[in-house]
Amino acid sequence: MKNDFPHLFNNKLSTSQLAHELLNSYKKLPNHFHPIWKNKECKITVTDIIGNPKDFLFKPKKSESILHELGLAYFADNQSGKLGIPGGKRSYSLRGDLIKLERALARWTLKRLINEFNFTPIVIPNLINSDIIRACGFEPHGLRTQVYSFSGSPNTCLAGTGEMPLASLHIGECFPSDDILPKRYCALSRCYRAEAKSSGEMSGLYRVHYFDKVEMFGIVEETESDKLLEEFVTIQRTLFTDLGLHFRIVDMPPNELGPPAYRKFDMEAYMPGRDYWGEISSASNCTDYQAKRLNIKYKKFYFDDNNGDILDVHTKYVHTINGTACAIPRMIISIVEQNQTKDGRVIIPEVLRPMIGCHELRPFERK
């Protein structure tokens, strides 16, 4: 290559510029994918179906219709009520028992993650630098971006997921030993997305510009990331089962993965009002893709089996895993549509009733 382009390699400035361009191009490449998909057809694989479908003796309604009739929600998409309109398209407003359900979902999920699954809770910012977004494998600018940025400060963006600020917690750090790994973090945050997609089942609460979400994030040594991904999926399965949901677990093929993901599982709940399996959660193993771009490493010690002396020390990149513990609007859709009754009532999952103080969502009455 040097002989083919002497004008580049004989000029220090050009060589530096070339290296910079090559590095930027390298960072845009996607992660490699799990070998399980080698020589396999790229189609989603349902690995398990959990729970039993409800046997409705009536035509089930969409959650948005039920909630509007109860006076608990307004949506700008169908201009049903003025409270959803100020935010524009894909905005919404909740009130009454639906707010209690929203808060109960977040509190119950965080409590389980912290007390039962040993996660460390973190309060994270809603504003994030575009370089962090890019390092996590997402494009903060451009026509197809899902990221909101400020016109007066284009490098300042609204976080689309808690994954990005959680990933940046240890930017530039080197953990002194693999003994202190894995790290398990969780956060409740408001997420903002441009969401250009549009279709019938995605109207209302399904695809909105802002929503609250409880995120799980893990940092682990390179040989343990598959195991931690499996742990995250097990946690998701446990939480959704305890909420009484009918859902399935899907192993997503390489053509359905974002750039940072090495392997990804989606959780899809059946939404009878839509007659549709809708994604309510996902979990991804990003291996060292984000760690290389955020420069997060750890020291791996190798010991003599006989006397315990240190034989060698290697510095390696950590692996990162992320997963959604509770995307609240999608959970509301699933709970409302699966637990609706013929007369328009919605039965609250048993585990949430102590926090909400009632058995079903009560119609909102203006006082």
Q: Give the whole-angstrom CA distance, residue 36 versus residue 263.
A: 9
Point out the annotated binding site for ATP: 193-195, 208-211, 279-282
Point out the annotated binding site for L-serine: 161, 193, 215, 322
Q: Quick check: 81 and 93 in contact, CB under 8 A?
A: yes
Maximum distance among all alpha carbons in the chain? Answer: 82
Cβ neighbours for 239, distance < 8 A, ≥ 6 positions apart: 109, 112, 325, 326
Q: Give the whole-angstrom CA distance, residue 239 versus residue 50.
A: 12
* Bridge pairing between strands 319-327 and 276-285: antiparallel
Point out the annotated binding site: 161, 193-195, 208-211, 215, 279-282, 322
Strand partners, 215: 187, 324
Phi-psi region of 322 (alpha: psi -120 to 50; beta: other; left: phi over 0): beta
Q: Give the whole-angstrom CA distance, residue 20 versus residue 304.
A: 42
